[in-house]
Amino acid sequence: MEDCYAMFIDGACMVERIINIPDGVEIAVNEREILVKGPKGEIRKNFDYPRYNKVVSISRSVNAVKVSSESDKRKIKAIVGTFSRHISNMILGVTKGFRCTMKVYYSHFPISVSVKGNEVHIKNFIGEKGARVANIVGSVSVNVGKDEIIVSGTDVESVGQTAANIEQACALSRRDRRIFQDGIFISEKSLEAK
């Protein structure tokens, strides 16, 4: 999906990465903003970083997106790789989608989890009377089973951040984790089923 080239033009090194666009995916590049549309939805991301705007360029050809730079500095090469990986993840998200499976563990007090609007409410965690709340980021769907929570969506960052918010909502302080092992933990990260 992604090709990397380092070319020498007039003695200067030029780094570029080419991301091929699969069938059924539309990509629009408007200066530093990229819109990717596919069968599962659309993702819009802004790559406006003032420090690197003049050094790193993003352009679109007929069936590929090119991220390139004329600098051979290590930090610039890293930014080119980061931008190209973000675009590849956007393409994967609108074609296949991302899924994060979480397990609910408890030993004494049964934890109940529910979704209300853009929040996940975790009740009876270690016998607490109040509910712990985790925010759902972006357009991510959260499905709650008995002892399993499935977080899925098209944006890998939103799916990962929502799963991390749920995991952090069950963080314990001033307790020994070897004894109090209750919580909600990420058990698997994968692409969604076809």
If you count them, how many residues does the chain have?
Answer: 194
> What average pLDDT does range 26-37 have in this prediction?
92
Q: Over the chain, what is the mean pLDDT? A: 89
φ, ψ (nearest 5 deg) of residue 25: -115, 130
Give the global pTM. Answer: 0.85
Q: How far apart are CA 126 and CA 106, in angstroms?
A: 8
Query: How much is the pLDDT for 174?
Result: 86
> What average pLDDT does range 48-65 have in this prediction?
87
Place of tokens 């030029």: 14
Tens digits of residue pLDDT in 63-121: 999 999 888 788 888 999 999 999 999 999 999 999 999 999 998 889 999 999 999 99
Q: At a CB cut-off of 8 Å and minimum separation 6, what does 31 contact?
A: none
Q: How far apart are CA 51 and CA 55, in angstroms?
A: 8
Who wins on pLDDT, 53 or 148?
A: 148
Q: Strands, E, within the chain: which ranges?
A: 2-9, 12-20, 26-30, 33-38, 41-46, 56-60, 64-69, 98-105, 112-116, 119-123, 132-135, 141-144, 148-153, 183-191
Q: Is-contact 85 156, C-beta < 8 A? A: no
Place of tokens 């109940």: 112
